[in-house]
């Protein structure tokens, strides 16, 4: 089975619905349907029959990504991209529940007035996909955005409708950017400037910023900007300081793609979900007969500095915590390696706060380095390369003699007028297995953190083949896919380390064994 990108999460009548692209016939590309699972707590899930699959002329070559919207009268509707011919012409369709009294919405129908949106001559019909969750304007008209490309310009088209059935393309796109390539899985939503609660997608006006996220088909990474949605012009304008393109902000600097957010009205929060593809070879995926996972859901809010988003694992994941170990006031001298014993290191949740007495020994930031090229810097300055203040962090999924390990660590540099923090999650030493056809990079991102207090935190969720890490309270996040051969099950180990000259202190470290979720009972 191949699980692909997330396409339509929603909360409806006390049930969380997760729709995602899936190939039920194998662990490789093809035969894509909208799979469907439900949960009452976002942790324990029940798989249902597939919601949508190719069955009509307007989706005979595939039912691709889209979104879910709750219409007035508490009526859910799915928008999705269909491919209608061998030329890969893409159109936008919809589906509705067959029975609203079914709490799990197990059957979906495609009405006869599909497709709703077809590309006109100004649109590249082979790059016209992934309609967003709809939002309602003040005059009562609906809007959606659809990703696309013209030449090398990425485009978020804007469409309007009075009744959700008849859609007109706006004269101007919601936003576009030269040189970025095809935009897919566009997401557009508001965030509160002053509060930590999430906002419904249709919230507009003062007190909010808007987020535009695009998945770039060329780089296979995701980028977002913060900005203003002009109601008068119906366009999105990124804030002046935003980098709008390949060097821009990313939700996650690792194995993270095709994400989607939704508003959880039960707890007034916006939840971010994403897909992590495999990093092993195609042959490995065929052999194990599965590929692709959906990551732990995250809450997403605006950083108080207004310059970026903060992400954090949903609080429900803490219900899986089991046995706990704890350290405090532990000094990590140069070369220190301390094992965190007493938990199942192959499935763990680790929270640690590091502190240091001085920043004087932070190593200089080489002016030859590209300020945006964190990944190459991490490859050059790995976890074993001694610095002044750093590297320090944790070794996850480590074998007893360190033949295999996946370090998550921080490096502190001194630039001309400030300190720069680099966060790395390095898969290059994660396995002894032959790397043919595998991808094992040193994922990395910079952390915009104030070091005045000489402290920084790190959290990692470890689950056999995936390590999700959150630096400085969710300012920078990195997901790595790894496949150890020795550091598995009870043979996996977890360590804290410091390979810098300066002594670093573990102010506090808490680590929990994580239990397995259970299948939800019907």
pLDDT digits (tens, 9 = 90+) for 306-323: 999 999 999 999 999 999
Q: Between these two residues, 369 and 126, which has the higher pLDDT value?
A: 126
Cβ neighbourhood burial of 165 (10 Å; 0-12, 13-18, 19+): exposed
For residue 282, what pLDDT band results from cuts at 50, 70 and 90? confident
Note the pLDDT of residue 272: 97
Fold of the 319-514 domain: Jelly Rolls (2.60.120)
| pLDDT, tens digit (0-9, with 9 covering 90-100), for 144-192 | 999 999 999 999 999 999 999 999 999 999 999 999 999 999 999 999 9
Element spanning 380, H or E: helix 374-380
Torsion-angle region of 6 (φ positive above 0: left; ψ -120 to 50: alpha; else: beta): beta
Element spanning 436, H or E: none
Domain with CATH 2.115.10.20 in the chain: 2-313
Long-range CB contact pairs, 375-379, < 8 A, 24+? 375/253, 375/441, 375/442, 375/443, 375/444, 377/422, 377/444, 378/411, 378/422, 378/424, 378/426, 378/442, 378/443, 378/444, 379/428, 379/441, 379/442
| pLDDT, tens digit (0-9, with 9 covering 90-100), for 356-408 | 999 999 999 998 888 788 999 999 999 999 999 999 999 999 999 999 999 99
Is pLDDT of 290 > 90?
A: no
Whole-model pTM? 0.96
Measuring CA to CA, how many Å separate 374 from each of 134, 247, 369, 455, 478? 35, 10, 9, 21, 12
Note the pLDDT of residue 2: 65
Is pLDDT of 5 > 80?
A: no
Note the pLDDT of residue 280: 85
Note the pLDDT of residue 371: 76
Q: Between these two residues, 433 and 319, which has the higher pLDDT value?
A: 319
Is pLDDT of 261 > 90?
A: yes
Note the pLDDT of residue 291: 85
CA–CA dist 180, 153 (Å, integer): 6
Note the pLDDT of residue 286: 84
Is pLDDT of 3 > 70?
A: no
Mean local confidence (pLDDT), 78-91: 97
| C-alpha Rg value of the chain to the nearest Å | 23
Q: Report residue 144 CA to chain centroid gap.
A: 21
Q: Which residues of 340-373 are buried (b: 16+ CB within 10 A; e: fewer)?
A: beebbbbbbbbebbbebeeeeebbebeeebeeee
* Residues paired with 149 in a beta bridge: 154
| pLDDT, tens digit (0-9, with 9 covering 90-100), for 338-356 | 999 999 999 999 999 999 9
Note the pLDDT of residue 503: 97
Is pLDDT of 205 > 80?
A: yes
Domain with CATH 2.60.120.560 in the chain: 319-514
Element spanning 469, H or E: strand 466-471
- The architecture that CATH gives domain 2-313 is 5 Propeller (2.115)
Question: Over pLDDT 90: what percentage of the chain?
Answer: 87
Measuring CA to CA, how many Å separate 44 from each of 1, 41, 79? 20, 6, 26
Which DSSP string do the residues of 92-147 spell out, in sequence order?
A: EEEEEES-TTSTT---EE--TT--SB---TTS-TTSEE-PPPPEE-TTS-EEEEEE
| pLDDT, tens digit (0-9, with 9 covering 90-100), for 32-50 | 899 999 999 999 999 999 9
Residue for token pair 């056999």: 464
Mean pLDDT of the chain: 95
């Amino acid at each position: 089975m191949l699980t692909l990108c997330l396409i339509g999460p929603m909360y409806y009548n006390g049930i969380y619905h997760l729709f995602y692209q899936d190939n039920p016939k194998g662990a490789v590309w093809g035969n894509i349907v909208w799979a469907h699972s439900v949960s009452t707590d976002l942790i324990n899930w029940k798989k249902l029959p597939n919601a949508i699959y190719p069955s009509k002329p307007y989706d005979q070559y595939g039912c691709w990504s889209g979104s879910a919207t709750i219409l007035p009268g508490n009526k859910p509707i799915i928008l999705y991209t269909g491919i209608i011919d061998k030329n890969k012409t893409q159109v936008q369709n919809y589906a509705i529940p067959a029975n609203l009294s079914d709490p799990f919405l197990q059957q979906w129908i495609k009405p006869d007035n599909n497709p709703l949106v077809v590309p006109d001559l100004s649109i590249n019909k082979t790059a016209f996909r992934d309609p967003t969750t709809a939002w309602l304007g003040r005059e009562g008209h609906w809007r959606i955005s659809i990703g696309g490309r013209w030449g090398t310009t990425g485009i978020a088209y804007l469409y309007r409708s009075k009744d959700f059935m008849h859609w007109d393309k706006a004269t101007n796109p919601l936003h576009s950017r030269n040189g970025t390539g095809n935009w897919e899985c566009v997401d557009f939503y508001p965030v509160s400037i002053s509060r930590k609660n999430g906002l419904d997608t249709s919230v507009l006006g003062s007190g909010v910023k808007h987020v535009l996220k695009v998945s770039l088909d060329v780089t296979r990474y995701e980028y977002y900007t913060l900005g203003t949605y002009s109601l008068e012009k119906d366009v999105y304008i990124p804030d002046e300081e935003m980098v709008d393109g390949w060097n821009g902000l990313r939700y996650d600097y690792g194995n993270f793609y095709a994400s989607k957010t939704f508003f959880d009205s039960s707890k007034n929060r916006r939840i971010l979900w994403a897909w992590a593809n495999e990093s092993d070879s195609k042959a490995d995926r065929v052999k194990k007969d599965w590929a692709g996972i959906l990551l732990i859901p995250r809450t997403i809010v605006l950083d108080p500095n207004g310059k970026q988003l903060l992400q954090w694992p949903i609080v429900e994941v803490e219900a899986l915590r089991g046995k706990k170990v704890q350290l405090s006031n532990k000094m990590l001298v140069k070369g220190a390696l301390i094992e965190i014993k007493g938990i199942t290191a192959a499935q763990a949740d680790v929270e640690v706060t590091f502190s240091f007495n001085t920043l004087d020994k932070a190593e200089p930031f080489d002016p030859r380095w590209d300020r945006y090229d964190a990944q190459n810097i991490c490859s050059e300055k790995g976890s074993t390369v001694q610095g002044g203040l750093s590297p320090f962090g944790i070794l996850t999924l480590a074998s007893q003699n360190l033949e295999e390990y996946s370090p998550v660590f921080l490096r502190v540099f001194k630039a001309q007028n400030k300190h720069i923090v680099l966060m790395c999650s390095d898969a290059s030493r994660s396995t002894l297995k032959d790397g043919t056809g595998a991808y094992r990079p040193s994922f990395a991102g910079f952390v915009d953190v104030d070091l005045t207090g000489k402290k920084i935190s790190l959290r990692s969720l470890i689950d056999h083949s995936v390590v999700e890490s959150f630096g400085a309270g969710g300012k920078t996040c990195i997901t790595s896919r790894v496949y150890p051969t020795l550091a598995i099950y009870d043979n996996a180990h977890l360590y804290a380390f410091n390979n810098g000259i300066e002594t670093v202190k573990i102010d506090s470290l808490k680590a929990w064994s994580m239990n397995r979720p259970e299948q939800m009972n019907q």
